[in-house]
Structure 1
Amino acid sequence: MIITPVSSSSPVVFPMETRYRPILESLVPRDPLTQFHLRRGSPDDEFPDLCRNSTWMGRILTPAMYRRQFDRCTHSGVMFDDVIRPGLEEPGDWSGPVSVGCVAGDAQSYILFCDFFDRVIEAHHEHKIKSQTPESDFNYDNLKGGDDLDRSFAVRCEVSVVRGVEDFCFPTHCSRGERRQLLTLARKALQRLEDEELPGRLVLIEELNQEQQRELNLNPPSSTQLRTGMARDWPDARAVWVSNDGSLMVWVNMDDHLRLVSTRDDTNITEAFKCICIHLQKLEGFYRELRHPFIWKQQLGWVTSSPADVGTGLRIRVHLKLQHLPKHRRLQDVLKRLRICMDRPDTDVSPESPALYRVSNVATFGVSEVDLTQLVVDGVKLLIAMEKRLEGGGDIDDLVPTQK
């Protein structure tokens, strides 16, 4: 699917804007930013230079759209310039994957700036926003073939899911007090999980040395996280909860309010997915009892700070040892048709040796959790079949799937 950037001279229709107009008018007073006496020029004077910007934000934003957002801000003070800052800080590379280039400071951002966010979400996930999102499906028994990947190629797998907590700003915009309240809520919910289901321990990042952080696969904040404010006050109120059996980790205030991660060295995606499904639903119930449910929007599903994670918030990653397929001329076409992506190895390896690649889903929106996981399982199996064919000197043209 090819997304054509909208020209600034083209007529722009805002169906979601029209639908949400009564809500938008009631959310904030007219021109709310005027009370802050900001020293800004006109919207045309302030419009960013997007000529070399390859993000979805840069491809979609027009002067007309910018003018419509210019004097809006959410109740917690999120301005539109806060939303688009990530894409201006990191404009991307036209030869690489397209990032969303924007971030929501709070849940209200998705409503107030809906005409912009909706178009970014549709472009990134290649799925139209409808009146109702697919219902969540955590029935892991419906997943087929996730427990028998060829261990000669599949090294390990990871299933993770992110959630935002109602009544709190997202990490790029939240205050220290909010972050500490989120940690207090997490303590209470995770203690319930320990008492009823899964023993574990919560450790603060500030109490861990670098070696201990590496053992938990915790990386220091990236340059992007630092520039966007996501890592503000690091490591204050950041924590990780680890189950005693090692089956589950919960990151608190790291890149989102909560991230559940299940990693397995036996590449059993079914068991990792099952672990996430069971304990996510448990935590969802605990947070609801604490009167701070996870954030859900009717047309978008589960929402967090990044539009790239709306819908399910689910990521399935499988590490594969591949030698021949990464060099094949049709690889990018295959990945696009399978709706998955494959990261290049971080280290240089000999051409004669297989390198480790990470395969994961591109979209999180428009399909259920089971269907999304099944998509990755089927895609990984096909990549392994292609690698075997190439290893034996054969051709893979007949294995290339039709466009999904």
Structure 2
Amino acid sequence: MAHALLTRGAMLLHKHLTPELKARLERLTTRNGWTLRKAIQSGLDHEDSQVGVYAGDSESYALFSPLLHPLIQEHAGYDLEGHASDFSLEGLPQDDLDPTGEFILSTRIRVGRNLARYAFPPAIGARARAALEAEVVQVLGQLRGELAGEYHPLASLSEARRRELVEQHVLFKPADRFLDSAGVNRDWPRNRGIFHSADMRFIVWVGEEDALRIISMQPGSGLAQVFHRLKAALDVLEERLEFARDERLGYHTTCPTNLGTAMRASVLIRLPCLSRRPDFRALCSKLGLAIRGLHGEHSEAHDGIHDISNAVRLGVTERDIYQQLRSGVLKLIALESRARLATRGENSNLAAGGE
């Protein structure tokens, strides 16, 4: 299946929202008060937005489907024929990608989830946000074993502690300017928080871009271990919480680009030689991978370290994402190893010539 990921999504908003469609949709409002104007405000404010449209609740995807469905299809290169979930790794290699630790610093998989009976963060009211937090915290308190942990409301953390956790990549900040325009930062930081296990390998963010960001992570390159931990947590949470989803779009998310699995599987990987190639981004894209900097989206790489993840979430299964990330990262490691050898050879020749 071909996925033609676009980077000028806000232009898609202007392309698909014709004057006729705008007149038709601007009369509609979801039960949570989400309107077309609220949905597209971020795209109107920021021409460099990836998509420019955000959902305020599950109903948004049905009510504004004449705009959202064609936009999603064009952005993802996927015809919305239906979404399947599959967390099985049976028959796939599950060995360590980088046993020596020469390339991969850490591995992380997260999924976004919203609750079916609440508005999403852009549209939720203060009272409902408090009720959602209380419900989620009660469920998180039932986790056992390696998933057991403690919940910390953001408002209870000192500024120094918040900064420390953000720098460790385990806590979220106020949403960026795109999501801020959509209303995600309202009432900050009330009724938001972080749940984490004692070893910080399992984390749940409450009240970020989506109601929940459920994260499994660890140092090194144990992709299969991270995947299995996340699956174990989701098995428990899905028994106790009803997540917003449907058969066509998969899990409903605030940003349409996260629909489907709502999964981002990534590694922090050191590629100092390979990343100097002018075709590095094109190479990653060909492997179905997306690149971010050391500190996530909209950040730069440092010391050759990049955040590499799956580019596609919709129209693929969780199993597909695991398989694609694994094979893509192994390819990058092989190319980086080759580039390092070539660099050493060039340096040796220069040294010999200098003698």
TM over 0.5: yes
More moved, 170-179 vs 115-124? 115-124
1:76 and 2:29 aligned: no
Paired residues for 1:213-224 under 5 Å: 213-216=162-165, 217-221=170-174, 222-224=176-178
SS in 1 for 2:141: helix
C-alpha displacement of 1:372: 1.1
Match of 1:153 in 2: 103
Could you list the per-position Cα deviations for residues 26-67 of structure 1 after superposition, in whole angstroms to 9, with x for gaps in the alignment? xxxxxxxxxxxxxxxxxxxxxxxxxx9854323433223323
C-alpha displacement of 1:125: 2.1
Structure 2 counterpart of 1:298, from 231, 236, 247 = 247
Structure 2 counterpart of 1:253, from 203, 207, 226 = 207
Instruction: Work out the CA distance in 2 between the residues paired with 1:232 and 1:255.
Output: 12
Paired residues for 1:309-348 under 5 Å: 309-345=258-294, 346=299
Question: What amino acid does structure 2 have at the position aligned with 1:107?
Answer: S
1:100 and 2:56 aligned: no
Could you list the per-position Cα deviations for residues 130-157 of structure 1 after superposition, in whole angstroms to 9, with x for gaps in the alignment? 1x322x1122445424622262111111
- Structure 1 residues 158 and 303: alpha-carbon distance in aligned structure 2, compared to 1, 3 A threshold: same
C-alpha displacement of 1:385: 1.3
- Structure 1 residues 63 and 4: alpha-carbon distance in aligned structure 2, compared to 1, 3 A threshold: farther
1:272 and 2:222 aligned: no
SS in 2 for 1:392: helix
SS in 1 for 2:58: coil
SS in 2 for 1:152: coil
Instruction: Work out the CA distance in 2 between the residues paired with 1:312 and 1:300.
Output: 9
Question: What amino acid does structure 1 have at the position aligned with 2:61?
Answer: Y
Match of 1:183 in 2: 133
Paired residues for 1:191-230 under 5 Å: 191-194=141-144, 198-216=147-165, 217-221=170-174, 222-230=176-184
- Is the CA contact (8 Å cut-off) linking 2:34 and 2:56 kept in structure 1? yes
Instruction: Work out the CA distance in 2 between the residues paired with 1:257 and 1:53.
Output: 23
- Structure 1 residues 145 and 386: alpha-carbon distance in aligned structure 2, compared to 1, 3 A threshold: farther
Instruction: Work out the CA distance in 1 between the residues paired with 2:71 and 2:27.
Output: 20
Structure 2 counterpart of 1:122, from 40, 56, 73 = 73
Instruction: Work out the CA distance in 2 between the residues paired with 1:106 and 1:236.
Output: 20
1:58 and 2:11 aligned: no
1:237 and 2:191 aligned: yes
- Is the CA contact (8 Å cut-off) linking 2:5 and 2:75 kept in structure 1? no
Could you list the per-position Cα deviations for residues 192-249 of structure 1 after superposition, in whole angstroms to 9, with x for gaps in the alignment? 224x773211111101113322343324213333332101101110011111232201
1:392 and 2:341 aligned: yes
SS in 1 for 2:306: strand
Instruction: Work out the CA distance in 2 between the residues paired with 1:2 and 1:133.
Output: 15
1:379 and 2:328 aligned: yes
- Is the CA contact (8 Å cut-off) linking 1:341 and 1:360 kept in structure 2? yes
Aligned length in residues: 331
C-alpha displacement of 1:251: 0.7
C-alpha displacement of 1:175: 0.1
Higher relative contact order (CA 8 A, sep 6+): 2
Structure 1 counterpart of 2:118, from 145, 162, 168 = 168
- Is the CA contact (8 Å cut-off) linking 1:192 and 1:286 kept in structure 2? no
SS in 2 for 1:193: coil
SS in 1 for 2:269: strand
More moved, 218-227 vs 117-126? 218-227
SS in 2 for 1:318: strand
SS in 2 for 1:192: coil
In structure 1, list runs of 5 or more residues that go unmatched: 6-51, 93-97, 288-292, 395-404
Instruction: Work out the CA distance in 1 between the residues paired with 2:318 and 2:52.
Output: 25
SS in 1 for 2:147: coil
- Structure 1 residues 122 and 278: alpha-carbon distance in aligned structure 2, compared to 1, 3 A threshold: same
- Is the CA contact (8 Å cut-off) linking 1:342 and 1:360 kept in structure 2? yes
Question: What amino acid does structure 2 have at the position aligned with 1:106?
Answer: D
- Structure 1 residues 128 and 2: alpha-carbon distance in aligned structure 2, compared to 1, 3 A threshold: closer
% identical aligned pairs: 27
Give the TM-score, by structure 2 length.
Answer: 0.86
C-alpha displacement of 1:342: 1.1
C-alpha displacement of 1:273: 0.9
SS in 1 for 2:217: strand
Instruction: Work out the CA distance in 2 between the residues paired with 1:347 and 1:369.
Output: 28
Question: What amino acid does structure 2 have at the position aligned with 1:168?
Answer: Y
Could you list the per-position Cα deviations for residues 368-401 of structure 1 after superposition, in whole angstroms to 9, with x for gaps in the alignment? 111112111111111111112222229xxxxxxx
- Structure 1 residues 54 and 304: alpha-carbon distance in aligned structure 2, compared to 1, 3 A threshold: closer
Match of 1:26 in 2: none
- Is the CA contact (8 Å cut-off) linking 2:109 and 2:217 kept in structure 1? yes
